[in-house]
Amino acid sequence: MIKVMDAIRFETSPERYKHWRLELSGAETTGVARLVMDVKEDQGLGEYVLKQNSYDLGVDIELADAIQRIRFEHPEVRAIVFTSAKDRIFCSGANIYMLGTSSHAFKVNFCKFTNETRLHLEEASAASGIRSIAALNGVAAGGGYELALACDEIYLQEDGNSAVSLPECPLLAVLPGTGGLTRLVDKRKVRRDHADVFCTVAEGIKGKRAKEWRLVDDVIAKSRFDAATSKRAEELAKASPRAQAKGPGLPLAPLEVQRSIGENVGDRIVSQYRYVTLTIDPKKRVAELEVRGPDHEPPKSGDELRKLGNGWWALRAFRELEDALLDLRFNFLEVGLLVVRSRGDGGKVVAHDKALAALAAQDWLANEIALLQRRVLKRVDVTSRSIFTLVDEGSCFAGSVLELALASDRVYMKDDEDHEDAIRLALSPANFGALPMGNGLTRLQSRFLNEPERAEELRGHEAPMTTQEALKAGLVTIAPDAIDWDDEVRVAIEERAAMSPDAMTGMEASLRYGGPETLETKIFGRLSAWQNWIFTRPNATGQKGALTMYGQPERAEFDWRRA
Amino acid sequence: MIKVMDAIRFETSPERYKHWRLELSGAETTGVARLVMDVKEDQGLGEYVLKQNSYDLGVDIELADAIQRIRFEHPEVRAIVFTSAKDRIFCSGANIYMLGTSSHAFKVNFCKFTNETRLHLEEASAASGIRSIAALNGVAAGGGYELALACDEIYLQEDGNSAVSLPECPLLAVLPGTGGLTRLVDKRKVRRDHADVFCTVAEGIKGKRAKEWRLVDDVIAKSRFDAATSKRAEELAKASPRAQAKGPGLPLAPLEVQRSIGENVGDRIVSQYRYVTLTIDPKKRVAELEVRGPDHEPPKSGDELRKLGNGWWALRAFRELEDALLDLRFNFLEVGLLVVRSRGDGGKVVAHDKALAALAAQDWLANEIALLQRRVLKRVDVTSRSIFTLVDEGSCFAGSVLELALASDRVYMKDDEDHEDAIRLALSPANFGALPMGNGLTRLQSRFLNEPERAEELRGHEAPMTTQEALKAGLVTIAPDAIDWDDEVRVAIEERAAMSPDAMTGMEASLRYGGPETLETKIFGRLSAWQNWIFTRPNATGQKGALTMYGQPERAEFDWRRA
């Protein structure tokens, strides 16, 4: 367990950024913001030097924050230009020494977070009309080019030096695993044989060939580069539907979490947010997440929404949930099981879901809140911890909170005739489209792959369901009766926490994603799984492996057997 | 390198089977064959005991052969009943001691082969109308149940003992990786939370719940089991379109390969088939595959086809290719690169492709040959070796042989104005639908994901293309001129063979499969990649790992960090 003091924290804000500058001058008229990468070599999270605009988790936390804040705080921004403040280098990717000295579990979770950040950038364009341009004013290598691949358009400066490259395979014996291989062939649709050459040429490709092979959208002379990329960004901003976003943004407030540890809380670690509590039991290797329903009325208009602001449950609860999830992922690696509970009034959750849906259809800010809920729930789907949801007296698994249950590997619901009214599940419009998984299906659709019509049939079902009704509707895995509940749940939790963490990760990654695949699921499925494998291989991370040996005079030694 | 004497061979035939019985009595009238599993404990390929109808590669080679021979040799068979000759056990899956003592590279290649066999069983139903029933007259555990999952229908005997289970995760800390997890949710569409419970309960599930959860199609009392499953098989046979297949079948003849090794062949290992030569250079870790075009006229009718029989190039060349590929995969693990050449008359390849297409539309046997070509080419796609195709003077990369080039990671074509006529590529109808990849796209469609219309535009292009034309058409990666050819090809081969074998495996698995995903690609992508990762993890295969410790009194010890 990492001590609370040393824990990695995910909250930040532009005035605290070390490695990025969010430049907004002129954005009111042009609609264009600039995100300038200027990594401070000596300000990494660990004992390595972040040379050549290479990044670590701390750099990416700032990037994720910047994209999030542009969405909420700067409705005037309709295009982002990514560029570098360094001479001759745009970004050289994830820091190799950081990767070489990290534990496997950290590497995998790091890659997951950076993948999520890049997907969020793409979602900002697709769902919010915030276009992005990679203005490569220097070498974009590895993760640097992968960031560019996540932008809508890529422009490369023609200066005899700037190039794009994915040197991971030839130099480090690992993959371009932050979406690189997948986006090459699936997003930019680079021909597979061209991609093969590109990914094996350490020095990369520049000039005419980079454009011909679709690695970049254009190559522009240095003298015209800034003007041309700015102009293109302005064009994109002008054509964006976000031009209709009115009024001031909503500055995202700090989350105000209280953390307790030690004897007072039973030797557990408790993170108390307003609507969320995360409790870690290090001995049992179990985390409990309690989500509380709304304690106020939902807003009925854009004005009321803005008055509530950060206080609105629909925004605050999901921001808290996101922070708790990331805390769990990075700071409590040995916790294998997340138990989800809820407390509150399911009817109020449904009322807030309906208010959000009604407002989101016409108000950009409400829409951003709905999209944030969607992103947070997608983070749940790809979190490599077993997830059990417990539905009992006083819980409020309805609508958007019910999605947590639907994202779980199992749902236990207490069957107690004496308290039937207190133990209910309920659906809301949020279960039927606004919160899809990465594979494009709603969680109900993913649940009923065998009976696609069943998800639709439930649409009209407004009344809260009893345990027996929920079981019949297919929303519940196991419904122990009141007498057996405590024992059955306890044993299930103990058994699950005793399983091999690796087997559970592989099993859950497979069972959670039946049905169609998308760019997103291919990144977390095929690409990440191969990368995880390669990270464990002596050819990469062994004593004589290429990642380990990078920068040393000797060459890596390989076991040549092909698996 | 494995010595030629110790090499694993893939040719077999029913009279040599040790572990399976192909029972054909009554098939002429019922259309039903029985494949009875009766594994000989002491006849495994290695030093382990194949208890409880567990299998190793040798067992699966027989199964693959049986399915192939039913297709070609027994047109009267329209349904297969899989069952066991052992008491109380159908099949307990891949042998655990075999897995525990195998090298990682062997394990991965073993799993690939068994996955292919199961996909071939499904293809026999989908494309040839050979239905399959798993008649589980005992416990079907792990790979035993995964074999059942590959059948069209699964019936479980009700006898208080028989059950289905996937105990890999709880018992061995590995995955049900022979399609198990994928077929559960994607083929049988078992609800994800039910699948989660099922895959973590070592003892499995039987009776009513097995049916309710869609794990089996029905549970049948022991007294009625044989009769009921036979009757169901007869019903399926009766309704199968293969009822129109008119006899007799074509007995598949031995391949007659000559193998040479040693000084006479430059310290290489040469496997000489009629139309294929595989040459292994152990020092360079490079294999060269030469495919020779037809040396006879194509058949013009079903009668002529039957006279040619095993001698027809379209069948023989692809059977040889399959055998050579499997030889490479298992017996030369350290070879990282396959260089493909061809020799012959491209026009003749096109003529044979056209003859095959014309006959396949109306003749079951021709159709089986076309399907065999398809399966063999799919094996190329999932072979974890880099593949370069060299097109030079005298080559015959046309139609079905051109597919080898399109399956390659790169295509080099010599650009020689003086010999323009001798260096040509050509298309045939075979490139436009009959030979799809596992993702459902043709290799041309996979190549032109960015310009889907381009594959269609090429359809009309009948004339052989010069190097410049082929380059312009997008069929060639690099076209060195005659002066540079030798050096450029040599350097490319040396560079590729020096890359990390793991990185190349992961990279190629990603770049080869742009576009849509199917059950098949999910098995080789997501599922196999996770399984490969887990196979490398100490929690499974370390000294205290669960796979290693299986059967010992002590419990496995886990590193609990979740990746």
Per-residue pLDDT tens for B366-390? 999 999 999 999 999 999 999 999 9
Q: What φ, ψ does residue A552 adopt, rounded to 5°?
A: -95, 155
**How buried is A29 (Cβ within 10 angstroms: 0-12 exposed, 13-18 middle, 19+ buried)?**
exposed
Q: Which residues contact B194 (CB under 8 A, 6 or more apart)?
A: A477, B213, B214
**Nearest-CA distance from B169 to chain A in Å?**
6
Provide the pLDDT for residue A5. Answer: 55
Query: What mean pLDDT comes out for the span A71-97?
Result: 97
Is A23 an 8 Å CB contact of chain B?
Answer: no
Q: Which residues contact A502 (CB under 8 A, 6 or more apart)?
A: B173, B533, B534, B537, B539, B540, B563
Of A188, A507, A540, the CB nearest to B500: A540
Partner-chain contact B563 A105, CB within 8 Å: yes
Closest residue of chain A to B110, computed from CA coordinates: A563
Q: Is B190's pLDDT higher than 60?
A: yes
Of B184, B189, B536, the CB nearest to A537: B536
Contact between B257 and B272 under an 8 Å Cβ cutoff? The reply is: yes
Closest residue of chain B to A176, computed from CA coordinates: B507
Q: Which residues contact B491 (CB under 8 A, 6 or more apart)?
A: none
Cβ contacts of A536 on chain B, cutoff 8 Å: 533, 536-537
Partner-chain contact A556 B500, CB within 8 Å: yes
Q: B308: how many CB neighbours lie within 10 A of its CB? A: 18
Partner-chain contact A505 B530, CB within 8 Å: yes
Query: What mean pLDDT comes out for the span B414-441?
Result: 95
Element (H, E) at A279: strand A276-281
Contact between B396 and B367 under an 8 Å Cβ cutoff? The reply is: no
Partner-chain contact A336 B562, CB within 8 Å: yes
Contact between B175 and B168 under an 8 Å Cβ cutoff? The reply is: yes
**Nearest-CA distance from A30 to chain B in Å?**
32
Closest residue of chain A to B525, computed from CA coordinates: A526
Contact between B216 and B234 under an 8 Å Cβ cutoff? The reply is: no
Rounded Cα distance, B538 and A105, in Å: 13
Closest residue of chain A to B185, computed from CA coordinates: A514
Rounded Cα distance, B428 and B433, in Å: 10
Rounded Cα distance, A178 and A145, in Å: 10
The reply to whether B258-504 shares the fold of B4-242 is: yes
**Nearest-CA distance from B368 to chain A in Å?**
30
Cβ contacts of A178 on chain B, cutoff 8 Å: none
- Residues B39-82 have pLDDT tens digits of 999 999 999 999 999 999 999 999 999 999 999 999 999 999 99
Of A103, A410, A533, the CB nearest to B529: A533
Q: Which B residues, 327 through 366, put their C-beta within 8 Å of a C-beta on chain A? A: 333-336
Q: Which B residues, 187 through 246, put their C-beta within 8 Å of a C-beta on chain A? A: 188-197, 199-200, 214
Q: Is A90's pLDDT higher than 60?
A: yes
Among A113, A94, A81, A8, CA closest to A51 = A94
Is B526 an 8 Å CB contact of chain A?
Answer: yes
Of A410, A513, A540, the CB nearest to B196: A410
- Contacts across the A-B interface (CB distance below 8 Å): 286
Provide the pLDDT for residue A244. Answer: 86
Q: What φ, ψ does residue B414 adopt, rounded to 5°?
A: -70, 135
Average pLDDT of chain A is 96
Query: What mean pLDDT comes out for the span A265-271?
Result: 91
Q: Is B92's pLDDT higher than 70?
A: yes
What is the assigned CATH class of domain B4-242?
alpha beta
Of A478, A502, A560, the CB nearest to B539: A502
Closest residue of chain A to B445, computed from CA coordinates: A191
Contact between B157 and B137 under an 8 Å Cβ cutoff? The reply is: yes
Partner-chain contact B186 A515, CB within 8 Å: yes
Is A8 an 8 Å CB contact of chain B?
Answer: no
Cβ contacts of A447 on chain B, cutoff 8 Å: 191-193
Q: Torsion angle, CA of A98/A102/A108/A109, rounded to 10 degrees?
A: -80
Which pLDDT band holds residue A420 (cuts at 50, 70, 90)? Answer: confident
Among B192, B557, B522, CA closest to A387 = B192
Lowest mean pLDDT among A3-7, A86-90, A289-293: A3-7
Provide the pLDDT for residue A1. Answer: 44
Q: Which residues contact B320 (CB under 8 A, 6 or more apart)?
A: B255, B257, B273, B274, B275, B276
Q: Is A414's pLDDT higher than 60?
A: yes
Partner-chain contact A410 B103, CB within 8 Å: no
Is B74 an 8 Å CB contact of chain A?
Answer: no
Question: What single-letter amino acid sits at A282?
Answer: P
Is A99 an 8 Å CB contact of chain B?
Answer: no
Whether this model's pTM surpasses 0.90: yes
Partner-chain contact B563 A495, CB within 8 Å: no
Q: What φ, ψ does residue B449 adopt, rounded to 5°?
A: -60, -30
- Residues B294-342 have pLDDT tens digits of 999 999 999 999 999 999 999 999 999 999 999 999 999 999 999 999 9
**How buried is A340 (Cβ within 10 angstroms: 0-12 exposed, 13-18 middle, 19+ buried)?**
buried
Q: B123: how many CB neighbours lie within 10 A of its CB? A: 19
Closest residue of chain A to B546, computed from CA coordinates: A500
Partner-chain contact B522 A522, CB within 8 Å: no
**Nearest-CA distance from B142 to chain A in Å?**
14
Q: Which A residues, 446 through 485, put their C-beta within 8 Å of a C-beta on chain B? A: 446-450, 474, 477-478
> What SS3 state is found at B136?
strand
Provide the pLDDT for residue A264. Answer: 81
Among A123, A520, A523, A64, CA closest to A319 = A64
Cβ contacts of B501 on chain A, cutoff 8 Å: 539, 558-563
Of A384, A448, A510, the CB nearest to B563: A384
Of A103, A200, A536, the CB nearest to B533: A536
Which pLDDT band holds residue B464 (cuts at 50, 70, 90)? Answer: very high
Of A526, A559, A561, the CB nearest to B529: A526
Partner-chain contact B534 A506, CB within 8 Å: yes
Rounded Cα distance, B432 and B429, in Å: 6
Provide the pLDDT for residue B259. Answer: 95
Which pLDDT band holds residue A2 (cuts at 50, 70, 90)? Answer: very low
Is B548 an 8 Å CB contact of chain A?
Answer: no
**Nearest-CA distance from A563 to chain B in Å?**
4
Cβ contacts of B556 on chain A, cutoff 8 Å: 500
Q: Kindly calculate the radius of gyration of chain B based on its CA atoms and give it in whole angstroms.
A: 24
Q: Which A residues, 268 through 287, put their C-beta within 8 Å of a C-beta on chain B? A: 285
Share of chain B above pLDDT 70, in %: 99
For residues B269-282, one letter each, b for 16 or more C-beta atoms within 10 angstroms of the residue's C-beta and e for the rest, the string is bbbbbbbbbbbbbe
Contact between A429 and A505 under an 8 Å Cβ cutoff? The reply is: no
Is A416 an 8 Å CB contact of chain B?
Answer: no
Which pLDDT band holds residue B1 (cuts at 50, 70, 90)? Answer: very low
Cβ contacts of B546 on chain A, cutoff 8 Å: 500
Domain ranges of chain B: 4-242, 258-504
Rounded Cα distance, A19 and A40, in Å: 6
Cβ contacts of A197 on chain B, cutoff 8 Å: 410, 477-478
- Residues A462-517 have pLDDT tens digits of 899 999 999 999 999 999 999 999 999 999 999 999 999 999 999 999 999 999 99
Cβ contacts of B185 on chain A, cutoff 8 Å: 449, 510-511, 514-515
**Nearest-CA distance from A104 to chain B in Å?**
7
CATH T-level assignment (fold) for domain A258-504: 2-enoyl-CoA Hydratase; Chain A, domain 1 (3.90.226)
| Tokens (6 digits) for A86 | 């360094």
**CB < 8 Å & 24+ apart, contacts of A219-228:** A219/A155, A219/A156, A219/A157, A219/A158, A220/A155, A220/A156, A220/A157, A220/A158, A221/A157, A221/A158, A221/A159, A222/A157, A222/A158, A222/A159, A225/A135, A225/A137, A225/A155, A225/A157, A225/A158, A226/A135, A226/A137, A228/A155
